[in-house]
């Protein structure tokens, strides 16, 4: 049995808290408060971090940490990411410029990404077609990054588990 710490990041409303609540076996620890940022239509927003725990079919335990989405809390990203094994970036395809959002996280986690595997989950692709998975993969390639990109609905636990599985399979591939 192995234990892995995984970080989930992405813009405000991308679904970090939702994703952790969808898969956690324990009541997730949340630090959500009333949202006063009216640029995003949402009742609550995370001001600290989210935490959840799950056990994969192979017995490995995953400790999932979600970052706060608001840019003013960017200073805590590297604190939360300490000793993490991998990073999941959630992109909200309904936002005005998802490719610019992606660039923010590639930049903000550039130190971690030098050594850590990463997977990108793209949400709301069924209602917002551009940029699709291909365009996001192409943008990653232009940035010199080759990470798997998957369409996801983080309200579905299977989709969140798939993101984790794809992330961990990169680690296993590195060990071969
Ligand atoms: N329709 C639709 N709604 C989605 C989808 N993915 C997530 N949501 C909803 O989007 C909202 C995401 O909210 P949160 O989980 O609080 O987002 P967050 O990333 O934790 O946001 P902050 O903590 O504010 O940074 C929830 O109401 C989800 O139900 C999707 O694919 N389709
Ligand atoms: Mg949140």
Q: What is the pLDDT of residues 89-126, one digit of tens each?
A: 999 999 999 999 999 999 999 999 999 999 999 999 99
Polymer length in residues for the chain: 176
Q: What is the pLDDT of residue 19?
A: 98
Which residues are within 5 Å of ligand 2 (an ion), measured at CB? 16-17, 46
**Which pair of structure tokens corresponds to residue 169?**
């399979």
CATH match of 3-175 with 1.10.530.10: no
Q: What is the pLDDT of residues 160-175, one digit of tens each?
A: 999 999 999 998 877 6
Pocket test for ligand 1, best of 7, 10, 13 (most atoms within 8 A of CB): 13
Q: What is the pLDDT of residue 1?
A: 81
Which atom of ligand 1 is found nearest the CA of 32? 23
Q: What is the pLDDT of residues 28-60, one digit of tens each?
A: 999 999 999 999 999 999 999 999 999 999 899
Pocket test for ligand 1, best of 9, 14, 15, 66 (most atoms within 8 A of CB): 15
Assessment of whether the complete model's pTM goes beyond 0.85: yes
Instruction: Please provide residue 80's backbone torsions phi and psi, each rounded to the nearest 5 degrees.
Output: -65, -35
Domain boundaries, the chain: 3-175
Q: Is the CB of 15 under 6 A from ligand 1?
A: yes
């Amino acid at each position: 049995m192995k234990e892995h710490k995984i970080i989930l990041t992405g813009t405000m409303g991308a679904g970090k808290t939702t994703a952790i609540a969808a898969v956690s076996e324990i009541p997730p620890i949340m630090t959500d408060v009333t949202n006063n940022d009216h640029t995003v239509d949402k009742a609550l927003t995370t001001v600290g971090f989210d935490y959840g725990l799950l056990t994969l079919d192979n017995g490995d335990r995953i400790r999932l940490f979600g970052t706060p989405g608001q840019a003013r809390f960017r200073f805590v990203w590297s604190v939360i990411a300490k000793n993490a094994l991998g990073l999941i970036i959630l992109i909200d395809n309904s936002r005005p410029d998802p490719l610019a959002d992606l660039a923010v996280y590639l930049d903000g986690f550039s130190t971690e990404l030098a050594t850590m595997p990463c997977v990108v989950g793209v949400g709301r692709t069924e209602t917002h077609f551009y940029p699709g998975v291909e365009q996001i993969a192409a943008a990653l390639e232009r940035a010199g990054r080759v990470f798997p990109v998957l369409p996801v609905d983080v309200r579905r636990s299977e989709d969140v588990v798939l993101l984790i599985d794809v992330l961990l399979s990169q680690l296993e591939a590195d060990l071969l």
